[in-house]
Structure 1
Amino acid sequence: MRKEILLTGFGGQGLILAGILMAESAVLFQGLNAIQNQVYGIEARGGECRSEVILSDATIHHADVDEPDVVLCMSQMAFNKFAPLVKDGGLVVVDTVFVEDTAKLKPGSRLKSYPITEICSKATGKTIMANVTALGILAQLTGLISPENMEKEVLSRVPAGTEDINRKALYAGVEAAKAG
């Protein structure tokens, strides 16, 4: 099994951290091999960014995400650029707070739309943890990393005193994915 995942959006959304959390969770708690890479523009916030994650139960010899199985799009620009790269039958997950036009969806791919930022805000009163909510959605939809193992990694990395709010953000995503 080898799965390629792209987490895409704009700087400041925490997508680089989300990719790191996904990769570390896979290695530390799920028993998988993982590679994580990131690409971002020169802007501190607001510019294009993406986190590339490869998960495998075998040694990973090729570290590039060429044809992602899963693409998370947290901005319209990211959707337009990266959603068409998803492999045939692959999954594209969008945050409808930022992605309104899905016309460039590749035929044969699957689209799941959630107001990720809004879900996070309703669950926590904040939007800053929308990346964690997205991880909950991806954990539930893909089954690559269990929500419980994702929780272990998230809670090991967040600042002391924010564990409960991050847990709420994660499981709000899990529940949204369960609901459809």
Structure 2
Amino acid sequence: MYEDLIKIIAILKNLGLSLKNPSEEWNYETRFFLQKITYIAKSLGMDFSYNFGLYLNGPYCSSLANDYYNHPNLVVSLKSDYSLNERELKIQKLLKKEILSNPIIDKHKSEYLEALGTILYLKNEYPDFMDDDIFRKVKELKGYLKDRILIIALNTAKKLNFRDDFLNEKIQEELELWDKAED
């Protein structure tokens, strides 16, 4: 699965991010970020063989953990010769536009990524769940997350899963109103 780590590193490198050594005990934030951003990228269609389960802090994959523990220098240096294809570049742009550029990321990065990852996981596992069902389930699992963060994450998940061919001017205006309300 080393090849999958190289793919996610290519995305992070292209986004201009920097990460700390994930194998050092105090760098939990790096490990957390890698787990969540990889799951979110996978849920958007990135071709990874990583299998995620829902754990205490959202989606988690032990083989991804093995990869970054076994190759911490790749994570720190963001060294990757992998060239992203057109679909992967589109996913990278979505990650930047809808997630990493969201104003909430500055003050509530971990909570937001945990909420978003969990929401996307539940939407995948329970495709018939309505937004209210997803919200209740996340509150049940993660009562410590603020409603405001959950609502923003739920709106982000809707945007990420929204097909462009359904996006007309009226819907775009409504999405912009919701974006303003989130700020």
**Shorter-chain TM band:** 0.3 to 0.5
Task: Calculate the TM-score normalised by the size of structure 1.
Answer: 0.35
Task: Calculate the TM-score normalised by the size of structure 2.
Answer: 0.35
Relative to its length, the structure with more strand (as a share) is 1
The higher relative CO (CA closer than 8 Å, separation ≥ 6) is in: 2
| Higher gyration radius (CA) | 2
